[in-house]
Amino acid sequence: MTSTEDVAGAAEAGPLLRRAGVHVLGVRHHGPGSARSVLAALEELAPDAVVIEGPPELDVLAAHAGDPDLVPPVAGLVYVADEPRRASFYPMADFSPEWVALRWAVARGLPVRFADLPATHAFALASQAEAEGEDAVPPPPRSRARLDPLAVLAETAGYDDPERWWEDAVEHRSATAGSALEAFDAVAEAMAEVRALESEQDPAANPENDRREAAMRRVLREVAAAHEVVAVVCGAYHAPALRQGAWPTKTADARTLAKLPRVKVTATWAPWSAGRLARGSGYGAGVTSPGWYQHLFAAWRDGTDVVAGWLARVARELREEGIDAPPASVVDTVRAAEALAALRSRPSVGLPELTDATTAVLCGGSELPMRLVHERLVVGSDLGSVPERVPQTPLAQDLARQQRAVRLKPSATPQTLVLDLRRENQRARSLLLHRLRLLGVHWGEEVDSTGTGTFRETWELAWEPGLAVAVVEAGLHGTTVLDAATAKVVEEAAGAGDLGALGRLVEQCLVAELPEALPAVVDALAALTVRAHDTLALLRAVEPLARTRRYGDVRGSETERVAGVLRTVTLRACVGLRASAASLDDEAAADLRAAVDSAHRGLALLAGDTAAELGPAWTQALGSVAGDDRVHGSVSGRACRLLLDGGHLDAGEAAARMGRRLSRAAPAPAGAAWLDGFLDGDALLLLHDEVLLGLVDAWVAGVSDEVFEDLLPLLRRTFSRYQPAERRQLGTRLRRGPAAPTAGDALDALVDLETGLPPALAVAALLGIPLRRTPTLQEAPTRQEADA
């Protein structure tokens, strides 16, 4: 290459003359080849200062880039101070040219500046545009060249995929091919052609881009005035506009940037992840294969073999998945990939060749195994980290402290965590997770525990880098996780207008252990209870309150006030229940039934004085609903069942009610709704109560054919809730007809009272039923004799 010699000659003749000025290195964001070329160019140029594309607000962060604990992928995070939800990220991975330039400069103690439209204006402009959004005329469609200038270049070179063209033409060119600076000059020139073509096709102004480039030049002017040799790392598209010769006058740029609105913004580093870099996550400037790029960059840096190294890793992952990938086949894969690259006239082996070769040689033509390892290899699970020294919101610092204290490290890979709340450390973890969830930092989601017992919690954990924003946002509420969660709950309680929501908040206070928030929530609840007339809402508030009362004692919270509110809520609900059950349609009845169920569950948890006071009231309320034939069948059926289960209604009465409800005179759909409410849940009742089963059976058998057909869907829904085994048992029981007289005797013969007694006593002790051994022993035979 003759031009290479020219460069060398020029360098010898007068290096300073040749180098002085602003040198633009136009890159592809997140391109490992660009990163390598940038490194080579920087070494060649030895600039006095480095300018990187990015808002100037990031300047304060540059110094931290030298910190060994700042591990990429990380993102420069710029957010509106009062409204952290509005944030911009500038992600950087190991292989990002921006990161390479940043580290290079910081390691040498050179000044680094960021150049772009300041975020303070960008955010303000965006919210302005949003406000005008509805009136504004939609912007005219942009030319393809403006949307994707690289695609035009690639097409010119005969490529269908612009990414591949850039990789071939720029990124895969080996470092020995010539001066890196020269390559960047060529890129800028080509891009200048594209931009010329673009403005020809679409002369409409692009104020956003103009502003950005004017702002970049403003920074460049400042830097160039103070330093002799300046290197600029920016997206290739901007390269022609930043070349020193092409600058418009200072006044022109100043005019472009005059009178822009501002908002207050703050910047910090946030950890990022490989998954977020991938395009799938919805970030425009992302790449599809960060894992591959990382590998490429590392292999180039360490001088190892790209292809063999990658395939060795693929083979290892495949073996993990149980696919034998013998070394001999790996060698063949290497050769196949190289042959493919040659066939496709590509200068070097790329990811498509490697994937095709692996699929054909190692995976027997099936694409399934490669999909298994795609996440781990091609995307990668790298998660960056940010040292505590970096200015963070106080809340983020507190969070980091707590994460360390409970030994729970954020990880991008989803994991399942089972916590036993009886252990101190695990309870602390649970508290942290609950509090974070209250703050909107959804690090973990609670899932159903498989085991029984209320002392166990199961969480699905995954630290999404986007949570960094949520943490910043949560920082508005307080400076520690505890304070912020408390403040947030108090704020929410003040704003909540719904008893159900407040009830849930009460429960949240309990599981997240926020004793200071509890009074505020209970006050709000008490105030609202006075005004609330909606029985449904009152009913719904019962369960969370009752749980708080029940388990709050266990956790040592102060729950006396809760008991008071619970009492009021329950009594008012009891009073209003009958009235609210009048003239319901099916949907409203279903809501009420669910609310009654939940209230019943809640009240069942209570013990002591509260239970003694509220229990009878509740029973009475249920009785008023159950006994009234004008109440919607679904609700009164359910009430009957609850009373029956609680022993407050004898079976004969229940049978009579059922007969009445299901008699011919009553409309059949109403009868079926009653049955649905009555039989909801456990099949055991039906299995063991011969009278009831007979009643149901007789009703089903007696109903006329047309009516039966109408009711069939509802009946089917009722019965399909039972387990198949239960249904089978029911069927057997029905087929056998009325209970055989011998069944009871046979059962007695099977029961060995001597053997059964000790466990029965143990269970009785556990349940707190006072039983003494001797009388029971005497009593048992007596009863048996009586039966016989």
Given the rule CB under 8 A, which residues bind other proteins?
A: 324, 326, 328-329, 332, 335-336, 338-340, 342-345, 352, 356-357, 359-361, 363-366
Comparing CB distances to other proteins, the nearer of 178 and 352 is 352
Comparing CB distances to other proteins, the nearer of 200 and 321 is 321
Comparing CB distances to other proteins, the nearer of 181 and 330 is 330
Q: How far apart are CA 513 and CA 482, in angstroms?
A: 9
Residue 21: Cβ within 10 Å count:
14
Residue 546 in tokens:
């009752």
Residue 365 CB, shortest distance to other proteins, in Å, is 3
CB contact at 8 A, 557 and 612: no
Comparing CB distances to other proteins, the nearer of 347 and 615 is 347
Residue 718: Cβ within 10 Å count:
18
Residue 352 CB, shortest distance to other proteins, in Å, is 8
Q: How far apart are CA 536 and CA 465, in angstroms?
A: 41
Q: How far apart are CA 484 and CA 492, in angstroms?
A: 12
CA distances from 136 to 133, 139, 146, 256 (A): 5, 8, 22, 21
Q: How far apart are CA 524 and CA 491, in angstroms?
A: 11
DSSP string, 426-485: HHHHHHHHHHHHHTT--SEEEE--SS-STTEEEEEE---TTHHHHHHHHTTT-SSHHHHH
Residue 173 CB, shortest distance to other proteins, in Å, is 21
Q: Where are the beta strands (DSSP E) in 335-454?
A: 415-420, 444-447
Residue 361 CB, shortest distance to other proteins, in Å, is 5
Residue 166 CB, shortest distance to other proteins, in Å, is 21
Q: How far apart are CA 710 and CA 551, in angstroms?
A: 46
Residue 327 CB, shortest distance to other proteins, in Å, is 11
Q: How far apart are CA 211 and CA 398, in angstroms?
A: 39
Comparing CB distances to other proteins, the nearer of 318 and 532 is 318
Comparing CB distances to other proteins, the nearer of 97 and 350 is 350
DSSP string, 223-256: HHHH-SEEEEEEEGGGHHHHSGGG---HHHHHHH
Residue 308 CB, shortest distance to other proteins, in Å, is 15
Comparing CB distances to other proteins, the nearer of 160 and 754 is 160
Q: Is the dihedral of CA 195, 200, 205, 206 positive or negative?
A: negative
Comparing CB distances to other proteins, the nearer of 311 and 642 is 311
Comparing CB distances to other proteins, the nearer of 110 and 372 is 372
Comparing CB distances to other proteins, the nearer of 341 and 546 is 341
Comparing CB distances to other proteins, the nearer of 67 and 332 is 332
Comparing CB distances to other proteins, the nearer of 338 and 653 is 338
Backbone torsion region of residue 518, taken as left when φ is above 0, otherwise alpha when ψ lies between -120 and 50, otherwise beta: alpha
Of 249, 235, 22, the C-alpha closest to 148 is 235
Comparing CB distances to other proteins, the nearer of 360 and 372 is 360
Residue 296 CB, shortest distance to other proteins, in Å, is 21
Residue 447 in tokens:
């899932």
Residue 348 CB, shortest distance to other proteins, in Å, is 15
229-235 and 21-27: which strand pairing? parallel
Q: How far apart are CA 129 and CA 136, in angstroms?
A: 8
Q: Which residues pair with 45 in a beta bridge?
A: none
Q: How far apart are CA 42 and CA 47, in angstroms?
A: 7
Of 688, 596, 696, 598, the C-alpha closest to 636 is 596
Residue 336 CB, shortest distance to other proteins, in Å, is 5
Residue 319 CB, shortest distance to other proteins, in Å, is 14
Residue 665 CB, shortest distance to other proteins, in Å, is 44
Comparing CB distances to other proteins, the nearer of 157 and 339 is 339
Residues in the chain: 788
Contacts 24+ apart (CB under 8 A), 392-395: 392/268, 393/268, 393/471, 393/472, 393/475, 394/475, 394/479, 394/480, 395/471, 395/472, 395/474, 395/475, 395/478, 395/479, 395/480, 395/481, 395/484
Residue 349 CB, shortest distance to other proteins, in Å, is 11
Residue 329 CB, shortest distance to other proteins, in Å, is 6
Comparing CB distances to other proteins, the nearer of 214 and 349 is 349
Residue 759 CB, shortest distance to other proteins, in Å, is 54
CB contact at 8 A, 301 and 94: no
Q: How far apart are CA 528 and CA 42, in angstroms?
A: 68
**CB proximity list for 174: less than 8 A, separation 6 or greater:** none
Q: Where are the beta strands (DSSP E) in 251-363?
A: 265-271
